[in-house]
Amino acid sequence: MKACFTFTLFMPLYIIALGYLIPSALSAKGPESTTEWISIGLLFILLLISCAMLVIPILVQPTRSDFSGGEVQAIEASNADPFSFYGAVLIPLVSICQLSQLGGTICFWMSLLLATLLIYKTKDYLANLALALLGFKFYKIQYIIGNDLYDADIVTRRNIVRGSILSGVKIGDRSYLILSKYCRKQ
């Protein structure tokens, strides 16, 4: 699940890069054109994969729950730090204009790989704009199971209130996707 959220985080970058490269490749001739068309093909494949990774977890709701029966004690809307997202996306974004040259293409793909790894290793995958556009909300909650109090970050389409009993699927360390069928009020 964490890989899905990380991969789809860069969907706007793929779209911007395609918007830049397609007109440039149509007007270019020679070896630069070949490099651009290869990059267009790879970006289109990444865009399709990220769309699938965004839709599949939403459509194929798992029948098991990694997190179950937590009663919400405190809730706070979580506005993820946009600077970490933009910082990770900015590096590959700056190198888009160099994609017509082989060195620029290598720089773009290496910086995209590096940014993806940085996002994956942190919790910055929760700053996913594509999920926000699909109506998902991000919360920081404290919940109780038995007599123990825990903290977690959750992603859900539901409005969560104090006293809700939650169940969900683990995304990362203390991060969960709360599905509609697992959420109920007491």
pLDDT in tens, 88-110: 666 676 666 666 667 777 777 87
> Rounded to an integer, what distance in angstroms lies between the CA atom of residue 77 and that of residue 94?
32
For residues 17-37, average pLDDT = 78
Say how far apart CA 5 and CA 175 lie, in whole Å.
12
Q: What is the model's pTM?
A: 0.67
Q: Is the pLDDT of residue 85 over 70?
A: no
- The residue with greater pLDDT, 37 or 54, is 37
- Name the 3-class secondary structure at 19: helix
117, pLDDT greater than 70: yes
Q: CA gyration radius for the chain?
A: 20
| Residue 35 pLDDT exceeds 60 | yes
Spatial separation of the C-alpha atoms in residues 30 and 100, rounded to whole Å? 11
Flag whether pLDDT at 181 surpasses 70: no
d(CA 81, CA 109) in angstroms, rounded, equals: 24
Q: What pLDDT does residue 162 have?
A: 86
Is residue 37 scored above 70 in pLDDT? yes
Quick one: average pLDDT of 5-34?
78
Is a pLDDT exceeding 60 seen at residue 61?
A: no
pLDDT recorded at residue 80: 58
Q: What angle do CA 68, 74, 75 make, to 5 degrees?
A: 85
Helices (H), the chain: 2-8, 11-27, 31-59, 82-94, 102-121, 129-133
What pLDDT was estimated at residue 22?
84
